[in-house]
Amino acid sequence: MGIGSWIIFGLLAGFIAKLIMPGKNPQGCIITIILGVLGAMVGGFIGTRIGWGTVRGFDLRSFGLAVGGALLLLFVYQGFRSK
Distance in angstroms (rounded) separating the CA atoms of residues 32 and 44: 18
Closest by Cα among 12, 62, 19 to 33 = 12
pLDDT at 2: 65
The answer to whether the CB of 58 falls within 8 A of the CB of 1 is yes
pTM of structure: 0.77
- The domain of 42 spans 3-82
* Phi-psi domain of 57 (left: phi exceeds 0; alpha: psi -120 through 50; beta: other): left
Mean pLDDT over each residue of the chain, to the nearest integer:
77
For residue 52, what are the contacts with CB-CB under 8 A and spacing of at least 6?
Answer: 61, 65
Residue-wise pLDDT tens digits, 46-77: 888 887 766 666 778 878 888 888 888 888 87
pLDDT at 23: 67
Helix, strand, or coil (residue 54): coil
The total number of structural domains that make up the chain: 1
